[in-house]
Amino acid sequence: MKRDNQVERKNRRGGRGHQGAKTFRRGRALAFYEKLIVKRETLKQQLESQELQSIQQVIAGELKATESIMNDFKAAFELEEITLMRDEDN
């Protein structure tokens, strides 16, 4: 009987620990995605800058690459609600 209680406690702790780790990883994923959003906005501003006109093609390439990474990242981590929340803000 004592052994059954120990197994039950381990299962409960493992369940909570797993959920905590999942939440932590999701938080880190969201933070990284936010950094990608900032990078995309910076690249868009640079693309419009007259001072950087000589390297516009490079900036445009980086912008496309960043947006591609964002789409892949969003799909991999199921971050669709981020897009919906940001669209509502704008």
Domain extents in the chain: 2-89
pLDDT at 36 (0 to 100):
95
- Mapped onto helix, strand or coil, the DSSP state of residue 79 is coil
Cα gap 60→65, rounded to integer Å: 9
Cα gap 63→69, rounded to integer Å: 10
pLDDT single digits (tens) 38-60: 999 999 999 999 999 999 999 99
For residue 73, give the nearest of 37, 22, 19 by alpha carbon. 37
pLDDT at 19 (0 to 100):
64
Average pLDDT score over the chain: 79
Cα gap 34→66, rounded to integer Å: 12
Cα gap 37→39, rounded to integer Å: 5
Residue spans of the chain under pLDDT 70 = 1-19, 81-90
